[in-house]
Structure 1
Amino acid sequence: MLPGQDRAARHVLLVCLAAGATTLVDQAVLNIAVPSMRQSLGAGPADVQWIVAGYSLAFGLALVPGGSLGDRYGRKRFFLAGVAVFLLAGIVAATGTAPGTLIGARLVQGAAAGLVNSQVIGTIQDVFHGVDRGRALGLYAVTGGVAAALGPPLGGALVAGLGAEAGWRCCLLLSTPCAVLTLTLATRWLPPPRRTSGEARLDILGLVLACGCTLTLMLPFIRTPDSVAQAVAWPCALAALFVLHQRLRARRSRPPLVHPALTSSKPYLLGTGVAMAQFGSSLALSLVLTVFAQDGLGLSALVTAAVLLPSAAAMGVSSAFAWRVVRRLGPRTVHAGLILGIAAALAGALVALRVPEPGLPVALAGTYMLAGLASGLTVAPNQTQVLQHAPAEAAGVGGAILQMAQRIAAAVCLSAVSAVYLHTGSGSPRAAYALASCVCGALLAVALVLALLRGSTATPRSPARAATKATSAEVRRREVT
């Protein structure tokens, strides 16, 4: 897995990868089964919206509190608790007979997934350092990306093979054996709980304000607000209160929820912006392509899954070799990946407008495969560059903020890009898909600008700091073994 690492570190990484696959495939696999689930439960549009998007909402809400708790009280106990709750909530969701039961179970499951993934990032930060950390984060990104990309094909195969009723329930149970395996391995192989933050007291008010800000940011994209002004006012007000509260705590020499090194680091903030634009564009393009293939072209769920499958394979291959490209190109690897992604989005738009209908599924699969290659070159290298600016005592929070920002971006981009497609799709589905694909390309262009700006602000680390970090890495490695 990582040839330079000892056996204990490899076991820890295996647990982290299993957790990432378990929690991320669960959301992706359900999307393609929504029509059969809606018919089976008699769910209305609002119910379906909460079932699908509620998972992301709860996931995003749990990330920063989970990262902070792991930093302060140790990660293992929260990791185990999160996987156990995720497992039980998944069983409840799969056996539910009413929309309300499914909504509640998915909210709980999303919160548990957020708690688990915040511990995963922190654990990787604790155990791996230098080049090994980059490779470990790369493997984690590969696992999550491939799991998310494999979700629709797996869901389509289950619905097609088992029928509508049993199919969508099996989609929800697909992560159950993975969760059991993850729980078993984590009990044996995760290192004992160890605080990485020097201060035991938790910033409770900061947690409440952070959760409230995340909730009010994401909720308008799940449920239509009463007014635009109200939708904008609440998150802005809570964000202002959060910033003020963090500054007051810092002045009083009390540790804020968000470590000052994170908010004062331009490379961290710009890298997070890159991740937001790339992640939102990737998910939005996948959703629009799925809708266009089924509603616009009349393809079955199984054929749609076949169109999406090459992208998953391409992302897995390019992610696995991305660290080799990084050794040659350095930070420019992210630039190359984003440029390739822009080209893939524009090629998809051109294909939708020009290619005759019999050859269109194959052509779309080809352009989406290029998008998968681009994601593999972008996600892991960018994530590594972002998290290298997070200090050890804020590793969990730093990773959690990055993931939370991506979840918020996903909610915004999924809503906005799908609205672009649906608004223009009544006249010509092909033109609507082309326009939506161009919007996704524009988002990647924004990410490219931010990545170029980050390159101009990043400063090399001093030798003294590098030596200190190397010594710290050796101490932690001994603790793991």
Structure 2
Amino acid sequence: MAAGATTLLDQAVLNIAVPSMRQSLEASAADVQWIVAGYSLAFGLALVPGGSLGDVHGRKHLFIAGVSVFLLAGLVAATGGGPGTLIGARLVQGAAAGLVNSQVIGTIQDVFHGPDRGRALGLYAVTAGVATALGPPLGGALVAGLGPQTGWRCCLLLSAPCAVITLALAARWLPPPRRTAQNSRLDVLGLSLACGCTLTLMVPFIATPNSGEEALLWGAMLCALAAVFTVHQRLRVRRGRQPLVHPALTSSKQYVLGTAVAMAQFGSSLAASLLLTVFLQDGLGLSALLTAAVALPSAVAMGISSALAWRLVRRIGPRTVTVGLVLGIGATLAGAAVALSVPMAGLPMALAGTQLVAGAAGGLSVSPNQTQVLQHAPAEAAGVGGGILQMAQRIAAAVCVSAVSAVYLHAASGSPGGSDPRAAYALASCVSAGLLAVALVLSLLRRGATPRRPSAPVSAKRACAVSAPEEAT
């Protein structure tokens, strides 16, 4: 939990400090894009290799090494004097964070079983969600209290004490390294091809291609790498070797559809958060502190609803995710309506109300969905299964943030009569709601793909009813 809070808070807290950081460093728009999105790119690249290394060699030493590199790279980023230094440090920091988080998922899969695993994964999802939601309020407070020149540097230093505490806890409490993979040989070619696919998919959304031909070239490279990767994995199976992507993962409709649900939900959530920050600060000219105050109810609501989600899961099962997605679509569309209709004086309060509902919706959908997905990852591929899930979310974040931001910027600058940030925000919010609608459809398809089990005898039902309160505690 400490590792999740450390690495994810660091990313979220910087978003709201981007305007002051850009002014302080005199960075270009491309520099800022690499500083912000480069972290996610390196994070996503490291997840699957990190998970595979943990399955083969054990997780404790990799976890400690990742947190240590993360800490050192954070110190370099906070004291950097130019955009180049900051970009390099953030890339290293993102890779270290990906290595750490792949060990977190793998360790939970190794140590916990049955209902305990579900609760542990739920706590991890809650920690990640709350850390992500608390980032903007904390970043806004630091920038407002310390000034734009010092505030953004302190935002980058905020994770340093957390990293030190995490290292101390890990050295004492993490279980000794042990191999969980049946084959101790790494699929080096498979790892290289997987990283190449991730890179060619995410880079065009971070550094936008200059022409259609360049975009087609990136697409062709992605298709070629994906085809080679698929053939390579099938050849390893035929030769009796362990492939990078375990067959149990690709053959499970629940795992595949659940991962797709997580991609659409995570991408929509991250895009909506960044959209709100840009709209309030750049569009309406509000301060960083007021922007943070608008985003704070989302963090509070997500923490509370995540803690209570398991009671709802016990009552209605996988439909909890569906309920959360429907609630999220409603909250996002309500935000669009509020932006168009509420006067400026009451707009921050009204948007804070929609953020409250959106946070509650996220708590109901994120952790239950993640638990359902990882139930289908076998023990020998626990790290890779978790790494693929998180990597898919990072890819979705890069794609969705780029798409939603482009919709907002195009609508804000291209409206008749000049800039209209309210209409642009409403339109981009509808796009975010559309992404949640895709997640909702995929969630319903997953429920349809789940094999039905015969009803339990009456005595078993009574036993479940008696044991449920004990499991909840």
1:13 counterpart residue number: none
Paired positions, count: 447
Runs of 4+ with deviation above 6 angstroms: none
Kindly report which structure 2 residues correspond to 1:154-165, keeping only aligned pairs within 5 A, or say none: 154-165=138-149
Identify which of 286, 290, 297 aligns with 1:299.
286
1:240 counterpart residue number: 227
Residues 205-264 of structure 1 deviation map (CA, whole Å, 9 limit, x = unaligned): 000000000000000011122422112111111111111110111011111111010011
2:57 counterpart residue number: 73
Q: Does 2:421 align with 1:437?
A: no
1:7 counterpart residue number: none
* Equivalent position amino acid for 1:133 in 2: R
Task: For 2:452 and 2:258, locate their aligned partners in 1 and report how far apart those are by CA, in whole Å.
Answer: 16
* Equivalent position amino acid for 2:4 in 1: G
Whether the 8 Å CA contact 1:333–1:378 is kept in 2: the answer is yes
Q: Which consecutive residues of structure 2, in runs of 5 or more, have no partner in the other structure?
A: 456-473
Task: For 2:116 and 2:323, locate their aligned partners in 1 and report how far apart those are by CA, in whole Å.
Answer: 22
For the residue of structure 2 that corresponds to 1:425, the secondary structure is helix
Task: For 1:357 and 1:95, locate their aligned partners in 2 and report how far apart those are by CA, in whole Å.
Answer: 38
Residue 275 of structure 1, CA deviation: 0.1
Work out the percentage of aligned pairs sharing the same amino acid.
79
Task: For 1:382 and 1:308, locate their aligned partners in 2 and report how far apart those are by CA, in whole Å.
Answer: 24
Q: Does 2:30 align with 1:38?
A: no
* Equivalent position amino acid for 2:314 in 1: R
Task: For 1:313 and 1:127, locate their aligned partners in 2 and report how far apart those are by CA, in whole Å.
Answer: 29
For the residue of structure 2 that corresponds to 1:459, the secondary structure is coil
Residue 461 of structure 1, CA deviation: 7.5
Task: For 1:284 and 1:57, locate their aligned partners in 2 and report how far apart those are by CA, in whole Å.
Answer: 15
Residue 134 of structure 1, CA deviation: 1.1
Task: For 2:374 and 2:89, locate their aligned partners in 1 and report how far apart those are by CA, in whole Å.
Answer: 32
Identify which of 238, 251, 263 aligns with 1:251.
238
Kindly report which structure 2 residues correspond to 1:210-225, keeping only aligned pairs within 5 A, or say none: 210-225=194-209
For the residue of structure 2 that corresponds to 1:224, the secondary structure is coil
Q: Does 2:355 align with 1:376?
A: no
2:348 counterpart residue number: 361
* Equivalent position amino acid for 1:442 in 2: G
Residues 316-374 of structure 1 deviation map (CA, whole Å, 9 limit, x = unaligned): 00011111110001000000000000111111111111111111111111111111100
Identify which of 86, 102, 105 aligns with 1:118.
102
* Equivalent position amino acid for 1:58 in 2: A
Task: For 1:439 and 1:222, locate their aligned partners in 2 and report how far apart those are by CA, in whole Å.
Answer: 19
Aligned pair in 2 of structure 1 residues 461, 195: CA closer, same or farther (>3 Å)?
farther
Whether the 8 Å CA contact 1:311–1:372 is kept in 2: the answer is yes
1:129 counterpart residue number: 113
For the residue of structure 1 that corresponds to 2:14, the secondary structure is helix
TM-score, normalised by the number of residues in structure 2: 0.93
2:215 counterpart residue number: 228
Moved more, 129-138 or 200-209: 129-138
Whether the 8 Å CA contact 1:134–1:323 is kept in 2: the answer is no
Q: CA RMSD in A?
A: 1.2
TM-score, normalised by the number of residues in structure 1: 0.92
For the residue of structure 2 that corresponds to 1:221, the secondary structure is helix
1:283 counterpart residue number: 270
Task: For 2:407 and 2:27, locate their aligned partners in 1 and report how far apart those are by CA, in whole Å.
Answer: 25
Whether the 8 Å CA contact 1:50–1:103 is kept in 2: the answer is yes
Residues 280-311 of structure 1 deviation map (CA, whole Å, 9 limit, x = unaligned): 00011111111111122221000000000000
Task: For 2:410 and 2:194, locate their aligned partners in 1 and report how far apart those are by CA, in whole Å.
Answer: 33
Task: For 1:293 and 1:458, locate their aligned partners in 2 and report how far apart those are by CA, in whole Å.
Answer: 42
